[in-house]
Structure 1
């Protein structure tokens, strides 16, 4: 009898195992240098997402899928959120968005050997009607370009657009700066100095964040926890430190003034 009592007493004194971290299911696709299965830490955006959720007390379960699939799984509640996504009026009808993790600027890339005098001083997109400009389905700038009646050419992806730019079949390709520089270095190594870029008027940045489901269990609470820790990372400087590594890794080789034009990325 005494042995049973002592055993029970010992169990009450034994330290309890910590509760397991809740798991949050996320989806993403290939969008280097921000997200990619082939990059260290699966890309800088993924690194930030994992760190924010770690600080918030969550364990991340991440799957890579096609972009239409990530959106469908988020909408149907199969995953809590997908990233990286830019808020648009159309998306905000079905999804909620986190605060931006980063706000890189969008630029118009051009090929210097075929355009030695790019339209650097223009103040309105109306002034670009004489140029052939690449577009890809689903991108935010399509309604804007349509509004200004620009001469656009639908391309299969941004790599194809860059190749058409080099061949002279296009004049301008809109891309986020870091992504454009990354793709040029990857598919056209040694030709980085031949490309330049100019800012788009009225387009200051491209806020990228998590697109949250409205059907996933506790999605609102998860998003609030995420935003709280993201704000703390922004405050203590760790968010900027991670982003700065991305900027440094995508800068062209050689003097920056000979390759690029435009303001530094948004903080």
Structure 2
């Protein structure tokens, strides 16, 4: 090879982007959101973990039902933030838990629903989001589940009296309510929580010759922990 080609080939190599996963997520603040500079806590953790390994993932925001459809079509190598049931249903490889969330119910502040167990909720009309992997024991408990496209739509319908309760992760619900003047002070979390659920990133199992993105992500998370960056990211998204 002529020596004069070496600088050209080196320049082309440096300009070629490294392989990177294409991931999908939904509007699920404060974990993943287009309204925050860092994209939300799980988005920023994901981007930084891959960056430590020399990769820059592409993360697309989509309606959740479409995220799952695109995963099945092979458009994406993974998705965030997922619950265990979604990992099982989509046959994904789960990362370590990034957060543990309380899943439970929101009601109108002036019309609380008192309950001690799921049995007390039989026949109640409860808003859920289409495509979410809710625990089956809740869905099969006798509640009357009514689907919407996202959480904020459900909360607005709850305020309007369209149904009795909304099934939602506590931090997400409180974040959405606090950010909407029409909901603020009108809706409230109802104890007790129904589930404590880990939030994870899920990856499509690699085929021969492909990157094992789950393993790359795990190495990146370990690096973030070692640097102390993991906790610094989490603290930036804590309520003030």
Tell me the TM-score normalised to structure 1 length.
0.71
CA contact (8 A) 2:92 2:205 kept: yes
Distance 2:67 2:86 in 1: 18
Paired position in structure 2 for 1:264:
none
Q: Deviation digits for residues 242-266 of structure 1, max 9, x if unmatched?
A: 23332316xxxxxxxxxxxxxxxxx
How far the C-alpha of 1:73 sits from its partner, in A, is 4.2
In 2, distance between residues paired with 1:114 and 1:77? 45
- 1:146 and 2:125 matched: no
Structure 2 counterparts to residues 1-267 of structure 1, below 5 A: 22-33=18-29, 34-88=31-85, 91=88, 94-115=91-112, 118-119=113-114, 122=116, 124-129=117-122, 131-141=124-134, 143-186=136-179, 188-189=180-181, 191-201=183-193, 203-205=195-197, 207-215=198-206, 217-220=209-212, 222-234=213-225, 237-248=228-239
Q: Which runs of 5+ in 2 are unaligned?
A: none
User: How far did 1:47 drift?
Assistant: 0.9
Q: 1:69 offset after TM fit, Å?
A: 4.4
Contact 2:86 2:133 in 1 (8 A): no
- Aligned partners of 2:63 and 2:154: how far apart in 1? 20
Q: Is the 8 A contact 2:104 2:170 kept in 1?
A: yes
TM-score (norm 2): 0.78
What is the CA–CA distance in structure 2 between the aligned matches of 1:133 and 1:72, rounded to whole Å?
Answer: 24
The CA distance in 1 between the partners of 2:81 and 2:181, in whole Å, is 26
Q: Is the strand fraction higher in 1 or 2?
A: 2
Aligned residue for 1:24, secondary structure, equals coil
Shift of 1:108: 0.9
Larger Rg: 1
| Structure 1 runs not aligned, ≥5 long | 1-7, 250-267
Segment drifting more, 40-49 vs 93-102: 93-102
Instruction: Return the offset for 1:211.
Output: 1.7
The answer (yes or no) to whether the contact 1:212–1:219 under 8 Å persists in 2 is no
- The count of corresponding residues between Structure 1 and Structure 2 is 229
